[in-house]
């Protein structure tokens, strides 16, 4: 990875407290002072928010503004840009600045309750800390002589189901309202009233519903904003903080895991300017209770002779698993379904187990609708790309003139991308174009241009757009395009033809790492094609085995079909929910049909219930690992909690492999990391990439759609998962759940007139009844529903995305 090119900037030299410092033009004095080691106290100032100059805590003396004249009054250093020759005296060297700061601090405290001993913020509070460093010890407002009367408010009030406001603690610095307006684009909180009664408020019946609401709690410089989840749960000085990486999407957002005596109490945003800056979604922040749920697996289990699962020792479980898998191997082979939430190290262990112990390429991480076209696309356009290797980065999104979204709704599916795009759009540099069936709330906040596209019509829409694209454009394609024949090929073709840059954005944290680690039927670790003899030899040599299976394997759909047909004898499955897969019923049938199933999971699931051997695995808090985010950037983390009984998948897989007589050669994350580093990426320079389709198994897909006759009530099904829905990793926090958007079916105005306020959709897998909501610019003949917000989700209960379903009014049904 190479460092981004340093931009040439004009430097301005200023003198701060007698020290000369050169900083880029337009730098604010408050930050220039940091360069000389002077911390000017501040509250409203935040480096990622526009300056406002409201709290006046950062006043400094400016005896020379750079033009030989000074300012007669102290200046707010958070709003004052440097000027050549400027002289600044902060509290360090100026009694005037020091008194001004002490005066503001004294005023800030007169109406503050000083309830630090019971306040969540106490111990990590900028007001508390700076009152100590830049304030007086005793109050003159309320002392023995003067009994000043503080303004009070009834406490607290709910800004949303999750965010609480204690108004009397608030110093109205406006960080929260500015965040909501400038960053998230959800300006549902605003200043109301005036003078000392000024407070943060919400409109009646319009709570602060934002996917990013938790950030305001973190940036609040006092204890005014707290979360229902964490309020009164702990003190900062009792917490241990460990850096981590969010496991809920493919953004790779930096987080901080705060835990006490082995329990995670809260998560905060980490600070990574290259990735998520200082923001995370509410899912990244609040969805962690799942790992501490009652159904967490803590010991291995094997199926007894009486048919029930019973606890087993690790060695016994290894033995039973190995014996069963050996038999299944003999009875046709074993398929491996890994799911999309693995660390790259665990994914590597699966990939190696399949090849060296199970002698198969029947491995696929895609526990969702997929296609062979997608596998080819991943092999030829995604694997091994990354920052410094031609990959699109967050920074590139900011500098791109145009960002085209296809099959991707960033606010729901990749929150950090959404925020970065919004930043870029607000700065005036980027136009976002989305090929989508309607203008989503997220797209509206990006000021995006909608290219109205029904599901399935993306290839044609992309081609029509190609004329507008050039090398300043970035094409972001979502994983949903896998099921649109020809869409990924069209994206690749257009990128090649126009010079636009292309990136694939999956939904899950482990997706990209699984590709790199070889959890695909056509790819070995490091992007080595199974079909390439040299690549196989390369890996075989590194692994010390004679040869690797040479035939490309079955993909997830193929594995399911083969299990149902009896062509495969067994299954190793980790973290797969059948309802996420292309055909949930078929996946369930496959698990039932499998002669032998080894399941690995964090919690008890219907899959572990049906397995013959179950291994508990560690959640991200209990193990080290690496996610590879959509950019291809490595996002390693270390274990936050010490839990010796909670082991990563790779340890369980190594144990099974040992019993199978095919050692994986590692037992710890560090050993896997060393081996992965040694193996390294496939050096493609010595080989032309064959396109399309390294596997050679797929023909160029046909884009012809089964365009169902517009029979009465026939509509095409558009769907994706909302950020907050029924996902199993969000379980355990009712407050977070209450902030999810209400599930509705979006219909055209015509359809609403025709079918009324409640509609029933019927597809080949069942029916779903939902309140209907009018969507003005929804493409005609399309209906949209959230993929996993009601029942068992769209795939299980309704139909496959992009297919035709029928819509009907559901009079009198309220479900």
Partner 1 sequence: MTDVLTPVLTDIWDAEQAWKLATYAERGGYAALDAAFAMSPDDIITAVKDSGLRGRGGAGFPTGMKWSFIPQDNPKPKYLVVNADESEPGTCKDIPLMMGNPHVLVEGVIISSYAIRANKAFIYIRGEVVHVIRRVQAAVEEAYAAGHLGKDIHGSGYDLDVVVHAGAGAYICGEETALLEGLEGRRGQPRLRPPFPAVAGLYASPTVINNVESIASVPAIVKNGAAWFGAMGTEKSKGHGIFSLSGHVRKPGQYEAPLGITLRELLDLAGGVREGHQLKFWTPGGSSTPLFTDQHLDVPLDFEGVAGAGSMLGTRALQIFDDTVCVVRAVLRWTEFYQHESCGKCTPCREGTWWLAQALTRLENGQGSEADLDQLIDQCDNILGRAFCALGDGATSPVTSSIQYFREEYLAHLSHGGCPFDPARSTAWAGTEVSA
Site of interaction with partner 1 (CB under 8 A): 51-57, 59, 72-74, 79, 99-100, 103-104, 106-108, 110-111, 140-141, 145-146, 148-149, 151, 171-172, 190-191, 193-198
- In this complex, which beta carbon is closest to partner 1, that of residue 104 or of residue 795? 104
- In this complex, which beta carbon is closest to partner 1, that of residue 41 or of residue 693? 41
Cis peptide bond N-terminal to 523, omega within 30: no
- In this complex, which beta carbon is closest to partner 1, that of residue 149 or of residue 497? 149
- In this complex, which beta carbon is closest to partner 1, that of residue 79 or of residue 690? 79
CA distances from 221 to 170, 280, 443 (A): 9, 18, 31
Cβ proximity of 417 and 505 under 8 Å: yes
- In this complex, which beta carbon is closest to partner 1, that of residue 141 or of residue 153? 141
Q: How far apart are CB 55 and partner 1 at their closest, in Å? A: 5
Q: Which residues, in sequence order, are CB contacts of 456 under 8 Å at separation 6+?
A: 484, 705, 716, 802
Cβ proximity of 392 and 501 under 8 Å: yes
Residue 282 class from Cβ within 10 Å (0-12 exposed, 13-18 middle, 19+ buried)? buried
Compute CA 329 distance to the chain's CA centroid, rounded to the nearest angstrom. Answer: 37
Q: How far apart are CB 122 and partner 1 at their closest, in Å? A: 21
- In this complex, which beta carbon is closest to partner 1, that of residue 59 or of residue 539? 59
- In this complex, which beta carbon is closest to partner 1, that of residue 44 or of residue 419? 44
**Which residues face 197 on adjacent strands?**
none
Structure tokens at 459: 């290839």
- In this complex, which beta carbon is closest to partner 1, that of residue 24 or of residue 103? 103
Specify the residue for token string 């209907």. 772
What is the rounded distance in angstroms from the CA atom of residue 353 to the CA atom of residue 667? 12
Cβ proximity of 761 and 783 under 8 Å: yes
- In this complex, which beta carbon is closest to partner 1, that of residue 59 or of residue 408? 59
Q: How far apart are CB 341 and partner 1 at their closest, in Å? A: 45
What is the rounded distance in angstroms from the CA atom of residue 500 to the CA atom of residue 469? 6
- In this complex, which beta carbon is closest to partner 1, that of residue 148 or of residue 680? 148
- In this complex, which beta carbon is closest to partner 1, that of residue 52 or of residue 327? 52
Q: How far apart are CB 103 and partner 1 at their closest, in Å? A: 3
Q: How far apart are CB 145 and partner 1 at their closest, in Å? A: 7
Q: How far apart are CB 432 and partner 1 at their closest, in Å? A: 22
Q: How far apart are CB 12 and partner 1 at their closest, in Å? A: 17
Cα angle: 422, vertex 424, 425; to 5 degrees? 65
Q: How far apart are CB 389 and partner 1 at their closest, in Å? A: 42
Structure tokens at 578: 């059948």
Cβ proximity of 485 and 701 under 8 Å: yes
Closest CA to 339 of 637, 594, 608, 623: 608
Q: How far apart are CB 58 and partner 1 at their closest, in Å? A: 11
- In this complex, which beta carbon is closest to partner 1, that of residue 151 or of residue 737? 151
Cβ proximity of 715 and 771 under 8 Å: no
Q: How far apart are CB 198 and partner 1 at their closest, in Å? A: 3
Q: How far apart are CB 205 and partner 1 at their closest, in Å? A: 20
What is the rounded distance in angstroms from the CA atom of residue 306 to the CA atom of residue 468? 66
Q: How far apart are CB 272 and partner 1 at their closest, in Å? A: 29
What is the rounded distance in angstroms from the CA atom of residue 410 to the CA atom of residue 417? 6
Q: How far apart are CB 121 and partner 1 at their closest, in Å? A: 18
CA distances from 622 to 243, 254, 647 (A): 13, 17, 8
Structure tokens at 169: 């603690």
What is the rounded distance in angstroms from the CA atom of residue 214 to the CA atom of residue 219? 9
Q: How far apart are CB 444 and partner 1 at their closest, in Å? A: 20
Q: Which residues, in sequence order, are CB contacts of 449 under 8 Å at separation 6+?
A: 431, 432, 433, 434
What is the rounded distance in angstroms from the CA atom of residue 466 to the CA atom of residue 459? 11
Q: Which residues, in sequence order, are CB contacts of 446 under 8 Å at separation 6+?
A: 418, 421, 422, 425, 432
Cβ neighbours of 497 (radius 10 Å): 11
Q: How far apart are CB 129 and partner 1 at their closest, in Å? A: 17
Count Cα atoms within 13 angstroms, Cβ side, for 18.
Answer: 4
- In this complex, which beta carbon is closest to partner 1, that of residue 8 or of residue 147? 147
Q: How far apart are CB 778 and partner 1 at their closest, in Å? A: 31
- In this complex, which beta carbon is closest to partner 1, that of residue 126 or of residue 655? 126
Cβ proximity of 63 and 14 under 8 Å: no
Give 697-763 as a DSSP string.
--PPPP---------TTEEEEEEE--SSSS-GGGTT-HHHHHTSPPP-EEE-HHHHHHH-SEEEEEE
CA distances from 321 to 88, 224, 327, 357, 698 (A): 71, 54, 10, 12, 34
What is the rounded distance in angstroms from the CA atom of residue 670 to the CA atom of residue 377? 31
- In this complex, which beta carbon is closest to partner 1, that of residue 105 or of residue 717? 105
Alpha helix (H) ranges present in 353-440?
Answer: 372-377, 394-399, 410-413, 415-426
- In this complex, which beta carbon is closest to partner 1, that of residue 172 or of residue 787? 172
- In this complex, which beta carbon is closest to partner 1, that of residue 84 or of residue 764? 84
Cβ neighbours of 228 (radius 10 Å): 18
Q: How far apart are CB 79 and partner 1 at their closest, in Å? A: 6
- In this complex, which beta carbon is closest to partner 1, that of residue 58 or of residue 572? 58
Tell me 778's DSSP state: P
Q: How far apart are CB 244 and partner 1 at their closest, in Å? A: 36
């Amino acid at each position: 990875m190479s460092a981004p090119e340093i931009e040439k900037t004009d430097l301005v030299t200023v003198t701060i407290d007698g020290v000369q410092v050169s900083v880029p033009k337009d730098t604010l004095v408050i930050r220039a002072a940091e360069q000389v080691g002077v911390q000017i106290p501040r509250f409203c100032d935040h480096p990622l928010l526009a300056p406002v100059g409201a709290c006046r805590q950062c006043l400094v003396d400016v005896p020379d503004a750079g033009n030989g004249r000074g300012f007669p009054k102290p200046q707010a250093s958070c709003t004052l840009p440097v000027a050549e020759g400027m002289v600044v005296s902060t509290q360090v060297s100026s009694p005037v600045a020091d008194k001004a700061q002490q005066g503001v601090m004294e005023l800030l405290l007169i109406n503050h309750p000083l309830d630090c001993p019971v306040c969540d913020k106490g111990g990590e509070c900028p007001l508390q800390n700076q009152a100590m460093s830049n304030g007086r010890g005793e109050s003159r407002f309320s002392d023995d002589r003067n009994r000043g009367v503080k303004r009070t408010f009834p406490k607290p009030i709910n800004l949303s189901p999750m965010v609480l406001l204690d108004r009397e603690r608030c110093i109205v610095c406006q960080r929260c309202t500015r965040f909501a307006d400038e960053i998230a684009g959800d300006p549902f909180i605003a200043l109301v009233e005036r003078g000392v009664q000024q407070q943060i408020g919400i409109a009646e019946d319009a709570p602060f519903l934002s996917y990013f609401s938790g950030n305001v709690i973190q940036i609040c410089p006092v204890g005014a904003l707290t979360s229902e989840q964490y309020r009164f749960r702990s003190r900062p000085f009792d917490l241990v903080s460990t850096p981590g990486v969010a496991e809920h999407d493919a953004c790779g957002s930096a987080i901080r895991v705060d835990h006490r005596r082995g329990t995670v109490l809260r998560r905060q945003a980490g600070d990574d300017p290259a990735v998520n800056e200082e923001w995370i979604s509410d899912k990244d922040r609040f969805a962690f209770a799942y790992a501490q749920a009652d159904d967490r697996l803590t010991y291995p289990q094997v199926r007894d002779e009486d048919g029930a699962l019973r606890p087993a020792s690790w060695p016994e479980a290894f033995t039973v698993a190995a014996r069963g898998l050996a038999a299944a191997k003999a009875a046709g082979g074993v398929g491996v379904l890994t799911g999309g939430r693995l660390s790259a190290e665990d994914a590597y262990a699966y990939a190696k187990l399949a090849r060296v112990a199970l002698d198969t390429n029947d491995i696929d991480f895609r526990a969702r609708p997929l296609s062979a076209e997608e596998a080819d696309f991943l092999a030829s356009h995604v694997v091994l790309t990354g920052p410094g290797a031609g990959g699109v980065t967050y920074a590139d999104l900011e500098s791109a003139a145009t960002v085209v979204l296809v099959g991707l709704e960033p606010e729901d599916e990749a929150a950090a991308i959404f925020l970065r795009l919004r930043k870029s759009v607000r700065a005036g540099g980027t136009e976002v174009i989305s090929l989508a069936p309607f203008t989503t709330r997220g797209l509206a906040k990006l000021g995006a241009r909608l290219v109205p596209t029904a599901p399935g019509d993306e290839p044609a829409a992309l081609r029509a757009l190609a004329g507008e694209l050039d090398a300043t454009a970035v094409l972001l394609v979502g994983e949903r395009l896998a099921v649109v024949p020809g869409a990924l090929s069209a994206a690749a073709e257009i990128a090649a033809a126009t010079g636009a840059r292309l990136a694939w954005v999956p939904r899950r944290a482990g997706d990209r790492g699984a590709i790199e680690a070889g959890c695909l039927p056509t790819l070995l670790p490091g992007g080595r094609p199974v079909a390439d003899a040299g690549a196989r030899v390369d890996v075989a040599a590194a692994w010390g085995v004679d040869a690797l299976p040479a035939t490309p394997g079955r993909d997830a759909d193929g594995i399911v079909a083969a299990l149902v047909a009896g062509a495969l004898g067994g299954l190793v499955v980790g973290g797969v929910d059948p309802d996420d897969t292309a055909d949930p019923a078929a996946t369930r049938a496959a698990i039932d049909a499998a002669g032998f199933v080894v399941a690995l999971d964090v919690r008890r699931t219907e899959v572990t219930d049906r397995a013959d051997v179950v291994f508990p695995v560690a959640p991200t808090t209990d193990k080290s690992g690496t996610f590879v985010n959509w950019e291809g950037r490595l996002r390693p983390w270390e274990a936050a909690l010490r839990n010796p009984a909670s082991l990563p998948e790779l340890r369980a897989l190594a144990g099974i492999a040992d019993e199978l007589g095919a050692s994986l050669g590692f037992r710890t994350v560090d050993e896997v990391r060393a081996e992965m580093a040694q193996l390294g990426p496939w050096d493609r320079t010595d080989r032309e990439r064959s396109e399309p389709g390294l596997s050679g198994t797929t023909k160029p897909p046909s884009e012809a759609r089964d365009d169902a006759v517009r029979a009465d009530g026939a509509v095409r099904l558009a769907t994706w998962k909302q950020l907050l829905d029924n996902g199993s990793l969000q379980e355990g926090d009712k407050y977070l759940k209450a902030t999810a958007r209400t599930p509705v079916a979006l219909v055209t105005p015509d359809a609403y007139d025709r079918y009324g306020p409640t509609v029933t959709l019927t597809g080949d897998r069942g029916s779903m009844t939902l309140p209907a909501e009018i969507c003005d610019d929804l493409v005609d003949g399309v209906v949209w529903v959230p993929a996993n917000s009601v029942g068992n989700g769209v795939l299980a209960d309704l139909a496959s995305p992009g297919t035709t379903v029928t819509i009907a009014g559901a009079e009198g049904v309220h479900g």
